[in-house]
Amino acid sequence: MKVVRAIYRRYGVVLFTMVNDAYFPFTASWCCNTAPMTNVHHRALFLTTDRTTGQRLTKRWPDVTVVTLNSSRFSGSQEYSKAGYVRMMVERTRYILHLLEAGVRLLLFEVDCVWLSDPVPALLARHAEGDILATKVTGREVTAGGFLLLNPTTATVKLWRRLTDKRDSLYRRLEKRKNFAAVSEGDNDQQYFTSLVRGKFAGIKVVYLPSDLFPDGKWYQLPAGERSLKPRPVLINNNWMVGNAAKIKRAQAFGHWFWNERVSLMTLVSRRFHGEDYVPLGFIPGDS
């Protein structure tokens, strides 16, 4: 916690995400994507589910901060609305509460996204507008659970405690279920969080960010002409698609993938995105 507080004191926010072994390629792509952005890695805190993933991450990108749960229970691909995924989200919720109670402002993000620019300066400029800055799921009155600026206000902490209680209750109900067992769509972090926000729990004030600048995976489904008429996004979340391989394939098709364990794909795509002089930071050819 001492290291996390130091990040917060220096930068005014901690970029927080949780990853497991199966999500290392997304983590690596995000790290290569954001490496040229000033202080992004210095502000980042990764909660990894196992020691090996944490070691691989810090070996390549030593500027990020890593905390490890070291639990094999969360290993492998975890699909949305399956018991294993839900259990991971419960652990993430608990850890976020710990940080909020310590008075740390967080930007919760997920690594299956592309950052076309650093969103932090704009978010910090608006942080006082509400307890939480958020986005909505396209076409639904649902608050997206994967990109949130969480101010450690009294209202935010109270809401997150309530969310944690609800998630812990679900965790106990799922205790004996296999990771791949289906879970009701209503039993996920987004739905629980949205319900509390709609009810203005603890007087919470949520400010929603422009969907054109912070779109979700529906952006990829738009016709090319329609995309070209929209403002350039700050970032794009690679959701609305199930399965890691499918997400990677879509990101590659749009030039939004920056990692390859072996040779040139990451270099080529990164230079296409950042310019011909760009050298991907943290890339170790052939090292796994």
- State the Cα–Cα distance between residues 239 and 249, nearest whole angstrom: 13
Residue 102 tokens read as 């310590």
Please, what is the average pLDDT of the chain?
85
Give, rounded to a whole angstrom, the gap between the first and last alpha carbons of the chain. Answer: 29
Q: Which residue has the higher pLDDT, 112 or 276?
A: 112
**pLDDT range class, residue 84, cuts 50, 70, 90:** low
**pLDDT range class, residue 210, cuts 50, 70, 90:** very high
Q: What is the pLDDT of residue 248?
A: 95
Statement: residue 187 has pLDDT above 80: no
Angle between the N-to-C axes of helices 189-198 and 83-101, in degrees from 0 to 180, rounded to the nearest 10? 50
**pLDDT range class, residue 283, cuts 50, 70, 90:** very low
CB atoms within 10 A of CB 242: 11
Statement: residue 241 has pLDDT above 60: yes
- pLDDT > 90: what percent of the chain? 67
**pLDDT (average), residues 130-136:** 97
* 139 touches 83 (CB < 8 A): no
Q: What is the pLDDT of residue 186?
A: 58
Q: Would you put residue 203 in left (φ > 0), alpha (ψ -120 to 50) or beta?
A: left
Statement: residue 100 has pLDDT above 60: yes
Q: What is the pLDDT of residue 168?
A: 78
In the chain, the domains with their CATH numbers are 2-274 (3.90.550.10)
Closest CA to 28 of 41, 16, 38, 39: 41
Q: What is the pLDDT of residue 174?
A: 62
Statement: residue 81 has pLDDT above 80: no
Match 């608050």 to its residue by tokens.
143
- State the Cα–Cα distance between residues 86 and 234, nearest whole angstrom: 28
Match 């639990």 to its residue by tokens.
71
Statement: residue 176 has pLDDT above 90: no
Q: What is the pLDDT of residue 97?
A: 97
**pLDDT range class, residue 285, cuts 50, 70, 90:** very low
